[in-house]
Amino acid sequence: MGFRPFIYRIARENRLSGFVLNRGDGIRIEAEGNADQLEAFISLISSSHPPQSTINSLTIEDLPPLKDRSEFLIHSSDSNALVRPSIPADLGTCLECQTEIFDSKEYRFGYPFTNCTHCGPRYSIINNLPYDRARTSMQGFALCPHCQKEYQNPLDRRFHAQPIACPQCGPSLQLIEPDGTILAKNQQALLKAVSALRVSNIIALKGLGGFQLLVVATCEKAVKQLRTRKNREAKPFAVLFPSLDAVRECCITNAQEESALISTQSPIVLIRKRLSAPLAPSVSPANPQLGAMLPYTPLHHLLMKELAQPVVCTSGNISQEPMCIDNSEALERLGTIADLFLVHDRPIVRPVDDSIIKVGPKGWELQRRARGFAPLPLPFPYSGPSILALGGQQKNTVALTLEKQIVISQHLGDLESAQGAALLKKTVIDITSFYQVSPQIIACDLHPDYTSTQLGFQLAQEYKASLIQIPHHQAHVAAVMAEHQLTGNVLGLAWDGTGLGPDNTIWGGEFLVCQQGEYQRAATLRPFPLPGGEAAIREPRRSALGLLHSIWEPSFFDWAQKQFSSSELPALLQILNHQICAPLTSSMGRLFDAVSALIGIRQKNQFEGQAAMELEFAAEDMDTTDTYTMLVTKSIKLTKHLPGHCLENTKTIPIIIDWEPMIREIIQDSADNFPAAVISAKFHNWLAKLSCEIAKQVNIPQIVLSGGCFQNTRLTRMVSRKLEEAGFAVYWGQAIPTNDGAISLGQAFVASQKI
Ligand code: ZN
Ligand code: ZN
Ligand code: FE
């Protein structure tokens, strides 16, 4: 990222002699000059290093005089030092490059592939290490004399900028029709794409880490058209804005959100939407938030400056599958979605999605860790045999331990599709070969049907590695422990939709005491049946029916009759009565679903987590301390509706959280026509109160919040506030998502502790 040229420049400015070299574990500088010059030099290192670089530590020592004191040089690398290869992340266009592309006097005026050592593609174009041009997808573009000169000049911003390019020698643009016909090239292609967007066409744009689908965000008809063609009913779209001012027009931003928007990582930032936002309602229906982002490639900058209005910007994929990265693949798979394709000839080596963050009470919280962040390593307190952790099934990532560090892949998405499974395999090959590591331990989930678990078994044989299977919720808690480097024991709240427990039931509303690779289930939600199993994930009304069935009374029949057809209801009740196809769960996600359905917010999900999100949003701005009755029991209250097979394990469960009184009061509130806002706020308060009650009983000072439920901002805020008021230290995922994107890190952490 231009660190050595920076040192070179400030050493020369201060008339020092010596050298700078790469050591793998850092850089070494030997500098000689008078005391004032050296002092100025040292203070410049800390105060003006390149913005995208971080100095973790700076050690200064006196050395004997140098033999050659004529000049200051850049040495390539220290062959004696252990050189750990590092893979840089993709970086958003820097301010200097932005200025160049908009200045008609500049050589790269209007050039959409401008970059320098401070910005541009990295991870998405690297084929192999060490990172130099010959091993990137820029290998096919020979440098012209102009670029060559910049590339070789240590004083130039483009010194050793591997993806360096210009209109003479670099990639170029094309606008093509779905059948492959070329309509225009270069600037004409860009201008025609803008005109097409203006008349509400859908454009597939080849971005930095994959294809994106664009359509003007102000035109309801156009956005609806994209929803229909992409078969995406209601899941919110992100919006790409031409400028920060344009974001401010649609969103209520704070300073941290704005600094995230303009950061080199340029993620999608979830921000509160203005009621007056001039956007099509279909962009993010029934959602008070908007995923906003700013241009992060020269192509985006040029396009958005010309268009001067916000566009929906969503991944170019078919739902549940990875993004398209290849031109012909895009024409084939997105041909029925996009009207036109704005493409270029710089190959993308691997899909790297846009990252998503939100700003929480303690700063940035990554919701999806990909472009700009992956695969930068995180510190990891372990230096034993290498561990490869394969994650879960949804929102997946994989992780590989290095010496005292861990590398976590970019968000890979869901693994159900053949493409998803292939991407998982390719990513494993990528990261193990980049670091030339043959894993000695493979960590994976307990669930036998997960694609990642199956790959785990296969890889354990191939690498002759030992396999460790780790319960999903233990991994959730462990991920937060790893991120915050927590030692000693913690009480972890692991609340999500689904994860297989060691008793073969579906867990998800767990309080786990975790320490040294072991865990104990301290408390859990009273289990309830899910009629039809997986189908309950799509239909919150099924979770509600399962809950009601456990505490059945005749009056519930009215509600059930309203929600299910006359053929559905008897079949579901049959399933529940016979306990067939009705697996038990202690899932907090399903409890959210059930409450959402019971109070009439949502019976069927159009996308994952919709009912729970709408329940959260219903409470927006509602401020009350009211709550529902809490009942925790040391011994489970067995009713005739609880199937026998969980009896075995209940012996080891000390605390059961019984939702029954709460659910009965919610039904009463609903019958009394209390607004959803009040019921939702009281429900969130109930969860905060019970967390605090359990924490006090378990009495461990460190508390971890983990699992997809904590994507719910209100929940995280209420629970953490209550716990902190009671004197507990509370941690949750910030650098790593709280959802299943954290599972690979957690698995690696548990495995490292077991070893
Ligand atoms: Zn730049
Ligand atoms: Zn050139
Ligand atoms: Fe999970």
Can you tell me the distance from the alpha carbon of 4 to that of 507, in angstroms, rounded to the nearest whole number?
A: 50
Measured in Å, residue 592 CA sits from the centre of ligand 1 at: 46
Can you tell me the distance from the alpha carbon of 442 to that of 389, in angstroms, rounded to the nearest whole number?
A: 6
Residue 379 pLDDT exceeds 50: yes
Residue 1 pLDDT exceeds 80: no
Measured in Å, residue 164 CA sits from the centre of ligand 1 at: 10
Measured in Å, residue 474 CA sits from the centre of ligand 3 at: 10
Measured in Å, residue 198 CA sits from the centre of ligand 1 at: 29
Can you tell me the distance from the alpha carbon of 469 to that of 661, in angstroms, rounded to the nearest whole number?
A: 37
Can you tell me the mean pLDDT for 50-77? Answer: 81
Measured in Å, residue 331 CA sits from the centre of ligand 3 at: 35
- Quick one: which ligand is closest to 50's CA? 1
Measured in Å, residue 243 CA sits from the centre of ligand 1 at: 18
Give residue 68's pLDDT band: very low, low, confident or very high (50, 70, 90).
confident
- Quick one: which ligand is closest to 707's CA? 3
Measured in Å, residue 114 CA sits from the centre of ligand 2 at: 10
- Quick one: which ligand is closest to 301's CA? 1
Higher local confidence (pLDDT), 740 or 129: 740
- Quick one: which ligand is closest to 149's CA? 2
Residues 6 or more apart whose CB falls under 8 angstroms from that of 220 comprise: 280, 281, 282
What are the Cα distances from residue 544, in Å, to 135, 226, 358, 586? 55, 33, 30, 13
Find out whether 719 and 691 touch, Cβ atoms under 8 Å. yes
What are the Cα distances from residue 194, in Å, to 6, 239, 416? 38, 16, 36
Measured in Å, residue 118 CA sits from the centre of ligand 1 at: 5
Measured in Å, residue 531 CA sits from the centre of ligand 3 at: 21
Measured in Å, residue 705 CA sits from the centre of ligand 3 at: 12
Residue 141 pLDDT exceeds 70: yes
Measured in Å, residue 633 CA sits from the centre of ligand 1 at: 61
The string over 725-754, giving b where at least 16 C-beta atoms fall within 10 Å of a residue's C-beta and e elsewhere, is: eeebebbbbbbbbbbbbbbbbbbbbbbbbe
Residues 6 or more apart whose CB falls under 8 angstroms from that of 3 comprise: 27, 49, 50, 53
- Quick one: which ligand is closest to 588's CA? 3
Ion ligand 2 neighbours, Cβ < 5 Å = 144, 147, 166, 168-169
Measured in Å, residue 185 CA sits from the centre of ligand 3 at: 46
Return the percentage of the chain with pLDDT > 70, whole number: 96
Measured in Å, residue 617 CA sits from the centre of ligand 3 at: 21
Token readout for 177 is 């029709």
Measured in Å, residue 165 CA sits from the centre of ligand 2 at: 5
Query: 444: closest CA among 190, 726, 747?
Result: 747
Give residue 648's pLDDT band: very low, low, confident or very high (50, 70, 90).
very low
611-644: per-residue pLDDT in tens? 999 999 999 889 999 999 999 887 544 433 333 3
Measured in Å, residue 122 CA sits from the centre of ligand 1 at: 12
Find out whether 291 and 356 touch, Cβ atoms under 8 Å. yes
Can you tell me the mean pLDDT for 476-490? Answer: 97
Measured in Å, residue 395 CA sits from the centre of ligand 3 at: 9
CB atoms within 10 A of CB 571: 13
Measured in Å, residue 155 CA sits from the centre of ligand 2 at: 18
Residues 6 or more apart whose CB falls under 8 angstroms from that of 34 comprise: none
Measured in Å, residue 12 CA sits from the centre of ligand 1 at: 22
Residue 529 pLDDT exceeds 50: yes
Query: Is the whole-model pTM more than 0.85?
Result: yes
Measured in Å, residue 706 CA sits from the centre of ligand 3 at: 8
Q: Which 3-state string (H, E, C) describes 515-533?
A: ECCEEEEEEEECCEECCCC
Token readout for 250 is 């649609």
- Quick one: which ligand is closest to 742's CA? 3
* 3-state SS, residue 358: strand
703-729: per-residue pLDDT in tens? 999 999 999 999 999 999 999 999 999
269-280: per-residue pLDDT in tens? 999 999 999 999
Average confidence score pLDDT of the chain: 93
Which stretch of 41-45, 129-133, 682-686 has the lowest confidence by average pLDDT?
A: 129-133
Give residue 646's pLDDT band: very low, low, confident or very high (50, 70, 90).
very low
Residue 501 pLDDT exceeds 90: yes
- Quick one: which ligand is closest to 2's CA? 1
- Quick one: which ligand is closest to 506's CA? 3
Measured in Å, residue 520 CA sits from the centre of ligand 1 at: 51
- Quick one: which ligand is closest to 156's CA? 1
Q: Cis check for the bond before 267: say yes or no (omega within 30 of 0).
A: no
Measured in Å, residue 476 CA sits from the centre of ligand 3 at: 7
Measured in Å, residue 154 CA sits from the centre of ligand 2 at: 17
How are beta strands 466-470 and 441-445 bridged, if at all? Answer: parallel
Measured in Å, residue 119 CA sits from the centre of ligand 1 at: 4
Measured in Å, residue 297 CA sits from the centre of ligand 1 at: 10
Query: 452: closest CA among 502, 405, 499, 497?
Result: 499
Residue owning tokens 């040391």? 634
Query: 473: closest CA among 460, 492, 487, 490?
Result: 492
The string over 688-724, giving b where at least 16 C-beta atoms fall within 10 Å of a residue's C-beta and e elsewhere, is: bbbbbbbbeebebebbbbbbbbbbbbbbbebbbebbe
* 3-state SS, residue 663: helix
- Quick one: which ligand is closest to 501's CA? 3
Residue 654 pLDDT exceeds 80: no
Residue owning tokens 């066409």? 201
Measured in Å, residue 139 CA sits from the centre of ligand 3 at: 41
Burial of 651 (0-12, 13-18, 19+ CB in 10 A): exposed
Give residue 319's pLDDT band: very low, low, confident or very high (50, 70, 90).
confident
Can you tell me the distance from the alpha carbon of 308 to that of 746, in angstroms, rounded to the nearest whole number?
A: 43
- Quick one: which ligand is closest to 169's CA? 2
Can you tell me the distance from the alpha carbon of 437 to that of 425, in angstroms, rounded to the nearest whole number?
A: 15
Find out whether 525 and 509 touch, Cβ atoms under 8 Å. yes
